[in-house]
Amino acid sequence: MELLNINNEKDININISFNIDTDILTKVANIINEVKNNKDKALFDFTKKFDNINLKEIEVKDLNSYKDKIDDNFLKILKKTISNIEVYQSKTLSSSWVTIDKDETILGELVNPIEKVGLYIPGGTAPLISSVLMSAIPAYLAGVKEIIVCTPPDKTGNINPYILAAAKYCKVTRVFKVGGAQSIAAMAYGTETIPKVDKIIGPGNIFVTTAKKLVYGDVNIDMIAGPSEICVFADNTVKKDNLIFDLLSQAEHDVIASSYLVTTSKEIAEFVKNNIYSYAEKLSRFEIIKKSLDKNFKIFLVKDNTLALKVINKIAPEHLEICVEKPELVVKKIKNAGAIFVGNYTPEPVGDYFAGPSHILPTSGTARFFSPVSASTFIKKSSLIWYSKKTFDNNAENIIRLAELEELTAHLNSVKIRTIK
């Protein structure tokens, strides 16, 4: 834990990045090669090695097997959550468009869904049911026809029934009992059982993330996501209990998760510094939280709101909570953040689970150039160009000149031959 005093812009020395050490890169590369070469056999072997499970089959044959294992109240909540996500995500889609100019030039953009996607759903230290919703719903709204899920099996060799229920209600096509880097390799290259996909989506641990990084190019991915993180911007109007639990909400994910408090209040800074561990002791994942706080918790005590905003935009946090007196004045000045939670009654779990935006977000400062997963993540675009003879004749000399300057004579002649009468 660190408490940093920020009195001017020169004090802002923030270096947030996500690095993968060479040992992990080597291990993951070896796993990927093993899956490429030995396919299903490698998946069985790695599941035995890493999960200590002798799988009899990789695929879940009956997606309805959850039915006698979940409660009706969960299904009620699930349906409401799906509705919220559908409403929000439907607004993120773009459509094909075409324009016809007076000179008969037709230009446009054709929007089509990606045909086949693979979703990675963590299930090791915590089965992330919500990650099914946050990735599968945007996919089917975009029109993806084949949506597959890879998720680690539990100790009995089965899939969490709540994950299965979410998959069924979110129009997932097939579910496979495979986790880790090996599942990413399987989706990227295909095995006898798991089909090769066009794009892989979803959060995961360091091995999953490294695998996504290494297969990128052979298959598309959503982003390179590092450990989870939260940043809370708070002043004296915040309730201290709320603030501390919000800061702990991401620390419980992983020992390498990060929490940041940005505040103009010395009282708030000191209270959090002196009390956050005692709050954490009461929680089920205290050992994970403690390690996260020890290494990655920072308090930025800033002179004013102007410096606070500079710190926040420098961090470019995955989750940003704005718990200040007039949050509406702050929001428009945030340039870099994955998801922004405004006001004292919008804690991060509202977005993680229920509101509608996806919780699959850029981390480690990458909100400077990555966006959250949305329905638009699952589409691809093609440019459309259609010149009439008249338009072509009017512009041929311009195109020929550009080809001459680049010394590309085949380009040049492709145009020039059409001008010969």
In terms of domains, do 166 and 31 share one? Answer: yes
Q: What is the pLDDT of residues 49-102, one digit of tens each?
A: 999 999 999 999 999 999 999 999 999 999 999 999 999 999 999 999 999 998
In terms of domains, do 62 and 206 share one? Answer: yes
In a domain, 374, yes or no: no
In a domain, 371, yes or no: no
Alpha helices in 12-71 (DSSP H): 22-38, 40-51
What pLDDT is recorded for position 227? Answer: 87
What pLDDT is recorded for position 226? Answer: 83
In terms of domains, do 146 and 10 share one? Answer: no
Count of all residues that appear for the chain in the document:
421
d(Cα 348, Cα 362) in Å, to the nearest integer? 15
Domain boundary among 204, 221, 238: 221
Task: Report the CATH number that the domain containing residue 197 is assigned in CATH.
Answer: 3.40.50.1980
Residue 348: other Cβ atoms inside 10 A: 22
Q: Which of 34, 229, 252, 318 is catalytic?
A: 318
Q: Of all helices (H) and strands (E), which one includes residue 83?
A: helix 72-90
In terms of domains, do 331 and 397 share one? Answer: no
Q: Are 231 and 315 in contact (CB under 8 A)?
A: yes
Alpha helices in 281-420 (DSSP H): 286-296, 305-315, 327-331, 348-353, 389-405, 409-416
Q: Which of 229, 253, 319, 321 is catalytic?
A: 319
Decide if 267 is catalytic. Answer: no
d(Cα 338, Cα 373) in Å, to the nearest integer? 10
In a domain, 368, yes or no: no
Domain boundary among 355, 377, 410: 355
Percent of the residues in the chain that have a pLDDT greater than 70, as a whole number: 99
Q: Which tokens sit at 375?
A: 């329905």
Question: Which residue, 272, 267, 264, is CA-closest to 311?
Answer: 264
Domain boundary among 221, 242, 269: 221
Domain boundaries, position 407 = 388-419
* Listed range (1-10, 185-194, 216-225, 255-264) with the worst mean pLDDT: 1-10
pLDDT at 190 over 70: yes
pLDDT at 187 over 90: yes
Q: Which tokens sit at 356?
A: 């509608």
Question: What is the domain count for the chain?
Answer: 3
In terms of domains, do 315 and 214 share one? Answer: no
What pLDDT is recorded for position 7? Answer: 85
* Listed range (13-27, 155-169, 194-208, 347-361) with the worst mean pLDDT: 13-27
In terms of domains, do 33 and 81 share one? Answer: yes
In a domain, 364, yes or no: no
pLDDT at 127 over 80: no
Q: Confidence band (pLDDT; 50, 70, 90) for 253?
A: confident
What pLDDT is recorded for position 405? Answer: 97
Average pLDDT, the chain: 94
In terms of domains, do 89 and 154 share one? Answer: yes
Q: Are 204 and 171 in contact (CB under 8 A)?
A: no
In a domain, 126, yes or no: yes
In terms of domains, do 185 and 97 share one? Answer: yes
Compute φ and ψ for 215, nearest 5 degrees.
-90, -10
In terms of domains, do 240 and 177 share one? Answer: no
Q: Confidence band (pLDDT; 50, 70, 90) for 330?
A: very high
In terms of domains, do 129 and 242 share one? Answer: no
Q: Are 148 and 175 in contact (CB under 8 A)?
A: yes
What pLDDT is recorded for position 125? Answer: 61
Decide if 359 is catalytic. Answer: no
In a domain, 45, yes or no: yes
What's the predicted TM-score (pTM) here?
0.92
Question: Which residue, 86, 138, 130, 81, is CA-closest to 113?
Answer: 138
What pLDDT is recorded for position 124? Answer: 63
In terms of domains, do 31 and 166 share one? Answer: yes
In a domain, 383, yes or no: no
Percent of the residues in the chain that have a pLDDT greater than 90, as a whole number: 88
Q: What is the side-by-side strand order in the sheet with 319-323?
A: 2-6, 297-302, 258-263, 229-234, 319-323, 339-342
Concatenated DSSP letters for 121-143?
---SSS--HHHHHHHHHHHHHHT
In terms of domains, do 74 and 170 share one? Answer: yes
**Mean pLDDT, range 120-133, rounded to an integer:** 85
In a domain, 375, yes or no: no
What pLDDT is recorded for position 6? Answer: 84
